[in-house]
Every structure is written in C-alpha cells, then in structure tokens.
Amino acid sequence: MAVNHRCNEQIRISPVRVIDENNEQLGVMPTDEAMSRARSAGMDLVEIAPTERPPVCRIMDYGKFKYGQKRRKQKSREQKLKEIRLHPDIGDHDRNIKLNQAVGFIEKGDKVQFTMIFRGRERFHQNLGFEMFNSIVEGLGERAKVERPPRSEGRRLIMVIAPAKKTATGSGASKEAGPA
C-alpha cells in the first residue's frame, strides 16, 4: 500500500484545489500560483488526492511528512507477537516444523512466544520443557535472542524470543583512556 505522492514540479495538472499548512482551504488556483505560495512559505506542494477533480494539493514539508509515514509504519510493524504452542511429548519432526515456523516469524521481525502446556502427570516433569526450550534456543542460533527466559505459570511454561539486532554497536566504546 505504498502511495507515491507527486510533489512540486511533478504535478502537471492545472488547476488544483489547495490546502495550506494550517488545513485551511485556499480554493482552486493554477498550479504555478500554488507552487509559488508553497515556495514562499518554504514548503512543498504535495498532491494528496490525485483522483479528485480538480486534484487536491496540500502545502506541507514533504520530508517531514514522509518521515512521519515511515515512523507510523515501523511502529505498527513492531507490535506483533506470534504464539507457538507445544506439548512435552512432541515428536522431533513436529518440533522441527514449529522451529521453522518460528524462524519465519523472526525473519519477518516478529517476536515469538513459545507456550508449552502440561497435562495431567506431565506437570511433574517440567524439566523436560526447560530442556526443550534450551534446544529451541540453540536451534535458532544467532537469529534470535531470549527476551523473556522460560518461566512456569501454572500448567504452562512460557518463553519469548525476539529477533536479534542486525546492526552491531559501534566499536568506539572500547577505547581505553591512558593512565592517570
């Protein structure tokens, strides 16, 4: 749903309906006049409704507008938490399929919550769940980090995994100061 807005000289249709930076309608005017008003305000003329007749353009700071759109997209993207449910007696192949699902979620940038549900006598063998979670963490390797280590909540064992950061921190912090 990426919308490319035409800006300044890219707007070729005249006349256009203009809205200023304070959301006040300035009316219908030739494109050249609207461009001169935008430049005098130190802003850009951006086409926001190209299908309308005449097209609607807004006087705004286009760089700030694009930055705000990018931030909103990132913010909505980072809120996803996927859950994968397991049982302690799951087979190796089934566990590998669940692990591959988790890898897919992590590569998309989502967090993954592993939930192991214990039934009946299985509750007395929660150490098997901790061992399985450790093998899952080893299977994910460098792609992910444990955000919340395994902990028991009633008859469930829960662990949250988050994607590992792709960029390394700067190496400038390791510089040593000379002796004082």
Question: In which band, very low, low, confident or very high, does the pLDDT at 110 lie, cut at 50, 70 and 90?
Answer: confident
Answer whether residue 169 is part of any domain: no
- Domain membership of residue 68 (yes or no) is no
Judgement on whether residues 131 and 90 belong to the same structural domain of the protein: yes
pLDDT of 166:
65
Instruction: Tell me the pLDDT band of 177, cut-offs 50, 70 and 90.
Output: very low
Q: Are residues 133 and 158 in the same domain?
A: yes
User: Is it the case that residue 172 has pLDDT exceeding 50?
Assistant: no
Q: For position 125, what pLDDT does the model report?
A: 85
Maximum distance among all alpha carbons in the chain?
A: 79
- Crossing angle of helices 126-140/92-107, nearest 10°? 50
The pLDDT score that the predictor gives to residue 168 is: 45
179 occurs within a structural domain: no
Cis peptide, bond prior to residue 30, ω within 30 of zero: no
- The answer to whether residue 51 is domain-embedded is yes
Is 180 a member of any domain? no
Evaluate if residue 44 carries a pLDDT over 50: yes
Provide the number of structural domains found in the chain. 2
Taking phi over 0 as left and psi of -120 to 50 as alpha, with beta for the rest, 33 belongs to alpha
Structural domain of 40: 8-62
Helix ranges (H only) for the chain are 31-40, 62-77, 92-107, 126-140
Model confidence, pTM? 0.53
81 and 137 housed in the same domain:
yes
Is a pLDDT exceeding 90 seen at residue 121?
A: no
Spacing of C-alpha 100 from chain mean position = 21
pLDDT tier at 2, thresholds 50, 70, 90: low
Q: Is 20 part of a structural domain of the chain?
A: yes
Shared domain check, 13 and 43 = yes
Q: Do 55 and 81 lie in a common domain?
A: no
Co-location of 133 and 93 in the same domain: yes
Q: pLDDT grade, residue 77 (50/70/90)?
A: low
Question: Domain holding 97: CATH number?
Answer: 3.30.110.10
pLDDT range class, residue 1, cuts 50, 70, 90: very low
